[in-house]
Amino acid sequence: MTKAAIIGAGIGGIAASIRLALKGYEVTVFEASHTFGGKMQEFWLGKYRFDAGPSLFTLPHLVDELFALAGRTPSDYFRYTRLDPITHYFWPDGSQVKAYAEPARFAAEASRQLGVPEEAVLAALARSERLYKGTADTFLHKSLHRLDTYLSADVLKALGCLPDLGLTTTMHQANASQFNDSRFVQLLDRFATYNGSDPYQAPGTLNIIPHLEHGIGAFYPEGGIYSIAASLVKLAGELGVVFRYSEPVEQILTSGQSITGIATSQGKYKTDVVVSNMDIVPTYRRLLPQHKAPEQTLQQPRSSSALIFYWGIRREFPQLHVHNIFFSQDYKAEFEHIFKYKRISPDPTVYLNITSKADPADAPAGSENWFVMVNVPHNQGQDWQQLTLETRQAVLRKLEKMLGTSIEELIEEEQVLDPLLIEARTSSYAGALYGSSSNNRMAAFLRHPNFSNKLKGLYFCGGSVHPGGGIPLCLLSAKIVGELAPAANCVKTPKHA
């Protein structure tokens, strides 16, 4: 058997292990922590359960496909339901909109609450769908670093979408040109945060993102997001994948321009293929010090990070849903704080995820588990202790004003996650959640590919590479490794599966 080593048991690494095992590889996954999941962890605070990281589940067929490839029935391992409404939006002026799953109903709601023409909303969603279907097969599902990508028939579909892609305008400019209502523009602009970018800098191309929620759907898996990782680890184990926890990889071993194995504190392991699920920066800096790193790629501007407050709230709020957004007054100023000043706006937009709305077992009766997140800059030496104190008060003021209730006195359990902890726990360089940002039109092309042009047998997956990395789908990593060539010819670069 040809051997493969996966570095990291995040969702990308787990998915890679399944695909390689199905192709006949002897697969071992090396994980620095004591368990699997990467950012996709769960934990309990007293009687409250929390998903630590990703909270939105889109494109569930990417997970279903892994079970189908293995000849399993996906529902035997995990189940999910489509959310409706998807998100409940709140604005400082008191306006509210429920983003219903059915486009026509969502358009009617936006018209009723914000005065936005229904036909304009439906046209924007149709445009997002058209762009997604025309470009996804080329720009999301295939490597931009392979010649055969540009020789495929899918490129013709992408070329047909060029006039509407927004390559010469920003995401905000594209949205503001369609709608006069600043609140609805803000709603569309916020999709830039799905890959840690700034809508005032990112290209209009990112307006393909709304289709993921409003066209395909947002879903909630039974048992929370963590159940996805748990179900895939179960499948991997059934396929013979070995997981070695609390055994971080210290070096990728090479001979000339070929991979020969990996080294940990417990010894050296010979392997024919290595797939790194670590962030691209520490992969080169820590694990490949003997080889020249692609500096231009590693020095691309980083994406945003997150500051998360996990609160056990001893009260129920019937007006809230699984996903809730409380917008800032000045969205542009908020992103300037993040990307220009490297600070946190005193009036941040607040994302509130409450899984107990979908699964009451996640909180005691009469209570709710609040996952409260603010977009923040990646770590560059800021005083995170002080920023956390200031932001906590700003978040409480906003929620208390918009909900008309004192919140702090309802908090009976609390834990905080900041960029420093994100980096320490997940090897995400500087705590940037998505590797580099997409704040320029060439960002996707400047991401590291999911294979190495210099080292035979070295591949990559996860949030900092393309395809998959930086794409606003929490589970696209489940499909990015693709089909490595058969064991007898494993030096070829991977193709998308």
- pLDDT greater than 70 at residue 155: no
- pLDDT greater than 70 at residue 273: yes
Sign of CA dihedral 120, 123, 129, 132: negative
pLDDT digits (tens, 9 = 90+) for 54-63: 999 999 999 9
Confidence of residue 469 (pLDDT cuts 50, 70, 90): low
Report long-range pairs for 336-342 (Cβ below 8 Å, ≥24 apart).
Answer: 337/377, 338/198, 338/304, 338/375, 338/376, 338/377, 339/198, 339/201, 339/301, 339/304, 339/377, 339/437, 339/439, 342/377, 342/380, 342/382
Higher pLDDT, 467 or 256: 256
Q: How far is CA 353 from CA 185, 250, 273, 367, in A?
A: 22, 36, 39, 14
Confidence of residue 453 (pLDDT cuts 50, 70, 90): confident
- CA–CA gap between residue 51 and residue 354 (Å, rounded): 10
Residue 304 sits at the vertex; the CA angle it makes with 300 and 307, to the nearest 5 degrees, is: 150
pLDDT digits (tens, 9 = 90+) for 425-443: 999 999 999 998 888 876 6
Are 448 and 294 spatial neighbours (Cβ–Cβ below 8 Å)?
yes
- Cα 186 from chain centroid? 20
> What proportion of the chain, given as a percentage, has pLDDT over 70?
87
- pLDDT greater than 60 at residue 159: yes
Confidence of residue 491 (pLDDT cuts 50, 70, 90): very low
Q: Please report how the helices 11-22 and 61-69 are oriented relative to each other, as an axis angle in degrees rounded to 10.
A: 30
Domain ranges of the chain: 3-41+61-66+226-299+436-484, 82-221+302-426
Q: Phi, psi (5° rounding) for residue 67? A: -70, -40
Higher pLDDT, 156 or 125: 125
- CA–CA gap between residue 75 and residue 73 (Å, rounded): 6
Higher pLDDT, 366 or 464: 366
- CA–CA gap between residue 287 and residue 281 (Å, rounded): 10
Q: What is the pLDDT of residue 464?
A: 85
Q: What is the pLDDT of residue 497?
A: 26
- Correct CATH for 3-41+61-66+226-299+436-484 of 1.20.1730.10, 1.10.3210.10, 3.40.228.10, 3.50.50.60: 3.50.50.60
Give the chain's mean pLDDT. Answer: 90
Are 440 and 166 spatial neighbours (Cβ–Cβ below 8 Å)?
no
Nearest Cα neighbor of 271 from 247, 250, 252 is 252
Q: What is the pLDDT of residue 285?
A: 96
Confidence of residue 40 (pLDDT cuts 50, 70, 90): very high
Determine the average pLDDT of the residues in 204-214. 93
Determine the average pLDDT of the residues in 334-362. 98
Worst-scoring range by mean pLDDT, 40-49, 390-399, 470-479? 470-479
